[in-house]
């Protein structure tokens, strides 16, 4: 059965810390892996990863994919209270008739 597993489920750190969020997957016919940030509203898109070993970066956020070991990490450096959110990982299959599979998310809370 296809699945996406995120860890940890929740994380509390102090402002300025660096955090690493994990996403592992078991999906047949992998196409891409997606990261989202969800605050109080709808999830907002962060990254799409399709190739192994190529880091995607946006400000203090970065992500990388390992297609051999079937996981991705999302790094946030110098965390700020505004980074507090649920971070969702999702995997998209090659066949567009198949559904996107979401993990349950990591709830990140940044203490001031």
Partner 1 sequence: NAGVTQTPKFQVLKTGQSMTLQCAQDMNHEYMSWYRQDPGMGLRLIHYSVGAGITDQGEVPNGYNVSRSTTEDFPLRLLSAAPSQTSVYFCASHSTYEQYFGPGTRLTVT
Binding residues vs partner 1 (CB under 8 A): 34, 36, 41-45, 48, 88, 90, 96-97, 99-100, 102-105
Q: How far is the CB of 44 from partner 1 (least distance, A)?
A: 8
Nearer residue to partner 1 within complex by CB, 88 or 110 = 88
First to last CA, the chain: 41
Nearer residue to partner 1 within complex by CB, 3 or 60 = 3
Query: How many angstroms separate the CA atoms of 67 and 31, rounded?
Result: 10
Q: How far is the CB of 71 from partner 1 (least distance, A)?
A: 17
Instruction: Please say whether the beta carbons of 36 and 90 come within 8 A.
Output: yes
Q: How far is the CB of 102 from partner 1 (least distance, A)?
A: 4
What's 96's DSSP letter?
A: T
> Three-state SS for 88?
strand
């Amino acid at each position: 059965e296809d699945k996406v597993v995120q860890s940890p489920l929740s994380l509390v750190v102090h402002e300025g810390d660096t955090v690493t969020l994990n996403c592992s997957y078991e999906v047949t016919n992998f196409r891409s892996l997606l990261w989202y940030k969800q605050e109080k509203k709808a999830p907002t898109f962060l990254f799409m990863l399709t190739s192994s070993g190529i880091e995607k970066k946006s400000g203090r956020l970065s992500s990388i994919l390992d297609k051999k070991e079937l996981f991705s990490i999302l790094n946030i450096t110098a965390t700020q209270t505004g980074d507090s959110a649920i971070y969702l990982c999702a995997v998209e299959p090659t066949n567009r008739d198949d559904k996107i599979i979401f993990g349950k998310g990591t709830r990140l809370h940044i203490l001031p």
